[in-house]
Structure 1
Amino acid sequence: MTVTVEKPAPAPDTERSARSLVDAVFRAREISIAGALVLLVLFTWIAEPRFLNDQGIKDLLLNAAVLVLLAVGQSVVVITRNVDLSVGSVVGLSAFACGKFVSGTDHGVLTVLLLGVLVGAVCGLVSGSLVSGSLVSFGKVPALVVTLGMLYIIQGLDYWWAQGEQINAADVPQSVLDLGSGSVLGLPYLPLISIAVLAGTAYVLRTYRSGRELYAIGSNPEAARLAGVPIRRRVLGAYLFSGAVSGFAGALWLARFGTVVADNAHGWELTVVSAVVVGGVAIVGGTGTVWGAALGALLLTTIGSALAVLKVDSFWADAIAGALLLAAISVDRIVNVRMTRALRKRSAR
């Protein structure tokens, strides 16, 4: 007679302990970034007191608003163990499309924002279909290559459409420009919008099953598949969200600057990825929060503003961003190895 002995399921205390450890790591990373940000601001303020005057704070928040939005959208993709390198070109296309649409008209703000979201969503849908569909599933083409191709396609489309044309602020409805320059209780609209998108995304990722499944895909795609997670649909949804947020950011770009050309946000792809990784979202997927990514975006923006105020060559902003990116990847690797060991020890108990 054959006796089958089932392996006991992990105790609830062990599962709770594992989740507590992961949450503690996330919190420690975000707290460290916030601490570095505070020290940077204090140091710059001591060296140049005008850095924290009313206009300086307002400029800092406005400069960070678009990058925070892009970091939020990118985080959702990176959590699934993928990447979207087309976000900068989507911002450029969306900004120009919105500017072209409202030029010389009296279209309202809501129409402009919806158009931006629509343009970005279409781009995200195409990228997500390629990544989650035949190219990756059957051809095994990395998302990095697919979205790099999308970057050049969207850029080419934007340049072909613009033909060197520039949309000027004088042609943009005043209601749209007021969105980029207006404020409520002293706080500019754009940072408030970014915070609202950030909070909503964080809530969905933490509360809803679809959000938790994104983490499962990034942690172990094969295990997620065996558990019945609809991987293709979730990855497609992540790219669709990233594209929609990028398109929305393009509409806000128009509201912020008024003047747009075909190559707006050119080269922002790597800045966004750097912000996300520096903020604690592991490039290998499965870990991190959008709050950390937003802090990473704010840190990189503050570094650029601080160097400008201190009259330091802007080259150092890129150099520092690159150094932070390498350091973040190294730290992620060390933390992941140690966390895996700790979880195994706790499970063994």
Structure 2
Amino acid sequence: MTAVTAGRSTRGIVDLVFRARELSIVLALAVLVAVTAAANGNFLSAQGLKDIFLNAAILALLAVGQSFVVITRNIDLSVGSVVGLVAFTVGDVLAANQGLGVGVAIVLGIVIGCVCGLVNGLLVSFGKVPALVVTLGTLYVIQGLDHAIAHGRQINAVDLPRSVLSLGNGSVLGIPYLPLITVVVMLAVGYYLRSYASGRDFYAIGSSPEAAGLAGVPVRRRVMAAYLLSGALAGLGGVLWLARFGTVVADDAHGWELQVVSAVVVGGVAITGGVGTVYGAALGALLLTTITSALVVLKVNPFWQQAITGALLLLAISVDRVLALRVARILRRRNARHGS
């Protein structure tokens, strides 16, 4: 067996093992929906399904951006704060300038998100400050900035342009705009990671930053790009939040960073980096959202939502560890046979 053939075979094993994670999420979703629908037939009504996908759209969008960062063995805890800042700031600008439309709102939101991502990326990639410390700090800085701008005020739906509200509540062929936007972004990012050499660099960095650097991968630039994308999608998420809910205050999306990280890890993106897909992260977001909706339909105490999310997070991390050990064992055996 040649080295190239062995490498392809090894990659095939890794892909197969972690693709099984995504399949398990789909099966869990199917079982959850079937059980809930059996208990309450309205759960699978057209409106019920629409609400689930609308509720999952923004979380899945943020999970896609977070996946980019986690794959490089980093984390971004500031995404919830960025969503809140963008939602209020863009809403404030639109309320004061009724002539502005949805295009301006999206561009402004993405720009604000990119600035936040740039700060995170510079400190992590060039400043060499641990990502957990940087993004925890910027989380509080952005929250404070949001409260300073809001100064106790509230943005109301009646103050916003009709085009913005239509983005959050409109649909095409019966499919809401928000899930469509998330799916398009997810497919584009997933295709890039899978099909381009620069996209595969992110996985190389997550597997081993030192080895990636020795192989000529521009580690700092790639990590910077990951944070820029995460910030940009958080900015877009803030605009979609504004369009979806209309009425926003300074602390919107507070605590969402933990939900986003949970969705990413539950979706099979290893917290240690180098493994996972944006498709799995989006499925993780859909699973968590469906659990929330199911608990509401079944009239279960909301406490159990947090308990189940925490349990899923612990289970996902444990499964990642077991799979990583199993894959490492398989690779050692194959390398030993190849060496002999």
TM-score by length of 2: 0.97
CA apart distance, 1:107: 1.3
Structure 1 CA distance, aligned partners of 2:216 and 2:2? 20
CA apart distance, 1:68: 0.3
The aligned residue for residue 289 of structure 1 is 277
8 Å Cα contact 1:99/1:172 also seen in 2 = yes
> Paired residue for 1:46, among 38, 50, 53?
38
The aligned residue for residue 116 of structure 2 is 123
Does 2:184 align with 1:192?
no
> Paired residue for 1:179, among 159, 167, 173?
167
The aligned residue for residue 34 of structure 1 is 26
Deviation digits for residues 177-232 of structure 1 (CA, Å, limit 9, x no counterpart): 01111111111010000000000000010111111000000001110111111111
The aligned residue for residue 238 of structure 1 is 226
Residue correspondence of structure 1 range 105-124 to structure 2 within 5 A:
105-124=98-117
Does 2:13 align with 1:21?
yes
The aligned residue for residue 11 of structure 1 is 3
SS at match of 1:166: coil
Structure 2: which amino acid aligns with 1:274?
S
Residue correspondence of structure 1 range 197-216 to structure 2 within 5 A:
197-216=185-204
- Kindly report the root-mean-square deviation, in angstroms, between the aligned alpha carbons of the 2 structures: 1.0
8 Å Cα contact 1:129/1:236 also seen in 2 = yes
CA apart distance, 1:13: 1.6
SS at match of 1:103: helix
Structure 1: which amino acid aligns with 2:183?
I
Structure 1 CA distance, aligned partners of 2:274 and 2:236? 26
Count, aligned residues: 336
The aligned residue for residue 5 of structure 1 is none
The aligned residue for residue 301 of structure 2 is 313
Residue correspondence of structure 1 range 212-291 to structure 2 within 5 A:
212-291=200-279
The aligned residue for residue 60 of structure 2 is 68
CA apart distance, 1:346: 1.4
8 Å Cα contact 1:10/1:347 also seen in 2 = no
Deviation digits for residues 108-145 of structure 1 (CA, Å, limit 9, x no counterpart): 111111111011000000111011112x2xxxx32111
8 Å Cα contact 1:26/1:289 also seen in 2 = no
Moved over 2 A (4+): none
Structure 2: which amino acid aligns with 1:126?
V
- Uncovered stretches (5+) of structure 1, i.e. residues with no partner: 1-8
Range 46-55 or range 82-91, more displaced: 46-55
Structure 2: which amino acid aligns with 1:243?
G
Structure 2 CA distance, aligned partners of 1:259 and 1:292? 31
Structure 2 CA distance, aligned partners of 1:36 and 1:28? 12
Does 2:70 align with 1:78?
yes
Range 216-225 or range 103-112, more displaced: 103-112
The aligned residue for residue 286 of structure 2 is 298
Structure 1 CA distance, aligned partners of 2:92 and 2:195? 39
TM-score by length of 1: 0.95
8 Å Cα contact 1:74/1:242 also seen in 2 = yes
Does 2:146 align with 1:158?
yes
Structure 2 CA distance, aligned partners of 1:125 and 1:253? 22
8 Å Cα contact 2:89/2:149 also seen in 1 = no
8 Å Cα contact 2:201/2:217 also seen in 1 = yes
CA apart distance, 1:348: 2.2
- Uncovered stretches (5+) of structure 2, i.e. residues with no partner: none
